[in-house]
Amino acid sequence: MFDLYDLIRNIQKRPAMYLGKATIANLRTFIAGYSFARRQMQISQTSQEQEFSGFQTWIQQKYNVAYNQTWDQIILFFSKDENTAFEEFFKLFDEFTQTDSISKQQENVQHFPVL
């Protein structure tokens, strides 16, 4: 079974297979549908899904945007076109997952006393 991040990476490799037309709006809709279906099936959120729920806030902070737009709209606004926005999502996603991974490692270090 794929986890959310594997699914996103598979979409990056073969976007037409998952989205039809490779647009950032279709990607956000797909991810929202995936999350909705899991909730409807009463499947608990995975740690990755919980982590990804912070992507919206992270994007707003990264672009210094306070208004209420979805992450796909923000990325599209700061991109030259839809194709660029779609590609930019995956760069930002990688940065987000790396940043979150580093934050978790730092939290773990803080929880262990130095001997």
Distance of CA 88 to the CA centre of its chain: 12
Rounded to 10 degrees, the C-alpha dihedral 70/7/9/81 comes to: -30
pLDDT, tens digit, for every residue of 20-62?
999 999 999 999 999 999 999 999 999 999 999 999 999 999 9
Predicted local confidence at residue 112, as pLDDT? 53
- Whole-model pTM? 0.83
What is the domain extent for residue 96? 4-111
Domain count, the chain: 1
